[in-house]
Amino acid sequence: MRLASLGSGSRGNATLVQHRDTTLLVDNGFSLRKFSHRLQRFNMQPGDIDAVLLTHEHSDHSGGIARLCSSHQIPLWTAVGTARAVLPTEFQYQTLIADQPVSIGDIEIMPVTVPHDANEPLQFIFREIDNGKRLGILTDTGHITSHIIKAFGGLNGLLLEFNYDPKMLESGPYPAKLKQRVGGNHGHLSNLQSLELLQKIDTSELSCLIAAHISENNNNPSIVADLISQLQDVPAPVLANQDEGFDWITL
Ligand SMILES: [Zn+2]
Ligand SMILES: [Zn+2]
């Protein structure tokens, strides 16, 4: 299994997950034009995507979903609460339910409930149906629950949110209300919260780690890299960025 990103952060997210003949897209916060343009970097076209999974309704994840799926007839999978929040009423989609795995082609997807200020937010764990290697994606999460610790242990690959540095958020440009939202229990993971997750889960099989959804205002990639380098037995992270995302990484 391998993954790549077309961009990661509060101005738009889109992540490709591919195994054998199956290509999935997680979220699309980009206009169709921008999305198609960014996809060319991978020598791909929208029609190469077998299915789209939508984590939640915030526009940095959902902004380009309906247009992409309808203009290229790509099946969309999401939770009922997310669909109600963001899709036109007549829009056809496949339902995802937390803790109920679904298989699409060569990949099994396990939706995991996370605490975030959205209707029915889900994050995902992908499993190769033939070989069993597993990849987790965890962003847009306000705090670490025991359910998350259980679900995200023993993975081969992990894309994990390192949203903000608490001191930078505190002294940064956001209005007080937004600071409270981001730093709150249903906002985003701080560097320290994500570091703590890495200390609590089994990382013995982890061969690739991607630090993602790094705030451009309230964080600094070098702080994230420094913090992770203090952990033993965790691979040096790839740092996803807003404009470039990252190139294919194979588990
Ligand atoms: Zn969100
Ligand atoms: Zn987001």
Residue 249 maps to a domain: no
Residue 22 maps to a domain: yes
Residue 103 maps to a domain: yes
Residue 89 maps to a domain: yes
Residue 247 maps to a domain: no
Q: How many domains does the chain have?
A: 1
d(CA 11, CA 118): 17
Find the 185 Cα to ligand 2 centroid distance in Å.
Answer: 15
Find the 131 Cα to ligand 1 centroid distance in Å.
Answer: 32
Q: Taking the CB of residue 145, how many other CB atoms lie within 10 A of it?
A: 14
Find the 182 Cα to ligand 1 centroid distance in Å.
Answer: 9
Find the 98 Cα to ligand 2 centroid distance in Å.
Answer: 19
CATH number of the domain to which 230 belongs: 3.60.15.10
Residue 221 maps to a domain: yes
Residue 248 maps to a domain: no
Find the 194 Cα to ligand 2 centroid distance in Å.
Answer: 15
Residue 250 maps to a domain: no
The mean pLDDT of 77-95, rounded to a whole number, is: 97
b/e 51-60 (16+ beta carbons within 10 angstroms → b): bbbbbbbbeb
- Transcribe 167-233 into DSSP letters: HHHHHSSS-HHHHHHHHSTTS--BHHHHHHHHHHS--TT--EEEEES--TTT--HHHHHHHHHTSTT
d(CA 35, CA 48): 13
Q: Which ligand is nearest to the CA of 82?
A: 1
d(CA 152, CA 197): 9
Find the 130 Cα to ligand 2 centroid distance in Å.
Answer: 31
The mean pLDDT of 88-103, rounded to a whole number, is: 97
Range of the domain at 118: 2-241
Q: Strand order of the sheet with strand 134-138?
A: 102-104, 107-113, 122-128, 134-138, 157-161, 208-212, 238-239
Question: How high is the mean pLDDT of the chain?
Answer: 97
Find the 194 Cα to ligand 1 centroid distance in Å.
Answer: 16
The mean pLDDT of 26-43, rounded to a whole number, is: 97
Residue 246 is encoded by which pair of tokens? 């990252």
The pTM assigned to this predicted structure is 0.97
Find the 117 Cα to ligand 2 centroid distance in Å.
Answer: 11
**3-class SS of residue 146:** helix
pLDDT of residue 62: 98
Q: Which of 239, 160, 172, 238 is nearest to 201 (CA)?
A: 160
**pLDDT bucket at 224, cuts 50 / 70 / 90:** very high
Q: Which ligand is nearest to the CA of 27?
A: 2
Q: How do residues 161-204 score in pLDDT, each as one tens digit?
A: 999 999 999 999 999 999 999 999 999 999 999 999 999 999 99
